[in-house]
Amino acid sequence: MRKWASFPLKEGDVSRQAHADFPEQAIYERETGRNGFFGPATHFHHQHAPTGWTDWQGPLRPHLFNFNDIGVDNTNSPWSVPNLLFNAHCKMRTWRLTEGMTKLVRNGDGDELLFIHEGSAELYCDYGHMTVRDGDYIVIPRSTMWRLEPTSPMFILLIEATNDSFQLPEKGLVGNHAIFDLAMLDTPKIDAAFKAQYSEQQWQVEIKRHGEVSVITYPYNPLDAIGWHGDLSVMRINWRDIRPLMSHRYHLPPSAHTTFVAQRFVVCTFVPRPIESDPGALKVPFYHNNDDYDEVLFYHAGDFFSRDNIEKGMVTFHPAGFTHGPHPKAFAAAREYKKKFTDEVAVMLDTRDALEMGAAALATENHEYINSWKVKP
């Protein structure tokens, strides 16, 4: 057993609590902490923005990718698209699908999370049939057979929990029905549409295991279940069904918006909410050192209030080990409290292990992103 050394101290001019009522001469707060937002932390008050650098040399730097520009291959298999950001425990990819899949697929390496960025489809899997649309998260348990038949062109974000599973976060004091009620989780149905695809014709299944694909041929469609019972299934939740935790007097950390948890990473969802109204409360994400986790944000829709010049389909990647936070324009606007409501929707991936960047992602990088925190003269 081990425990953090815990001895709350204070030195100099400080606020009595985090993220609110800063000392008059220091409008900038920086949080440095351990274990994401769950471990011990210290809050510094600065006279200058912690991101006010004038030059940056070396490999540790933030990245901005435009996943809209990822090369589109004519493939209807998710195993044919490249890893964009990845490590031993997590793989992030994007996939464009316009026509129905001609083969079933099955991931033997881990659970798959699909986020439907654009488009809609009919999903068929071992458990039955469901209709999916933009904004849906779909958790597909390891080794489930599935396929999609698009009803409009699809742009899908895929996150693999390699050798792992997706589970739900503990909701603690707020209770099981907070953020989203488990009753909002949809599962596939063995309905008329599912029964209509029963077939005695040949079907193939592409199985990915250890990153390699095997193909199994059946003289019939193996999606032929007539029923099932148990507590494991494909499940779906849409971001529109998420009711975020809020406080009008305190800016909550990203961990309050956790949607799915794996052993070495978490997936969070930022959805529209009122901005903090208390005069002394911080109204944008606080400057922080994320020293234990790499942070990735996939921007889905809306006006991304803490970033500048970001469009849907773009991705920011902030590796562990440097201070980051809102851009200068966003910070200034928040102090004036011009905006009362955020309308952004974004998917955040926080990984405990360092992510590598694939060649396809690097080909879309905006190398000027490092300069976006500079205050314009």
Domain 74-82+89-239 has CATH 3.40.50.300: no
pLDDT at 237: 98
Q: 205 pLDDT exceeds 70?
A: yes
- How does DSSP assign 124-170, residue by residue? EETTEEEEE-TTEEEEE-TT-EEEEEEEEEEEEEEEEEETS--BPPP
Confidence of residue 326 (pLDDT cuts 50, 70, 90): confident
215-266 confidence digits (pLDDT tens): 999 999 999 999 999 999 999 999 999 998 888 887 777 788 899 999 999 9
pLDDT at 337: 66
Backbone angles phi, psi at 57, to 5 degrees: -125, 145
Model confidence, pTM: 0.91
2-16 confidence digits (pLDDT tens): 877 777 787 777 777
The CA R_g of the chain, rounded to the nearest whole Å, is: 22
Question: Looking only at Cα atoms, what is the longest distance across the chain?
Answer: 77
Q: 377 pLDDT exceeds 80?
A: no
142-181 confidence digits (pLDDT tens): 999 999 999 999 999 999 999 999 999 998 888 888 899 9
The highest-confidence range among 32-41, 155-164, 364-373, by mean pLDDT, is 155-164
pLDDT at 300: 97
Decide if 180 contacts 245 (C-beta within 8 A): no
We find that the CATH architecture of domain 28-65+243-373 is: Sandwich (2.60)
Range(s) of the chain covered by CATH 2.60.120.10: 28-65+243-373, 74-82+89-239
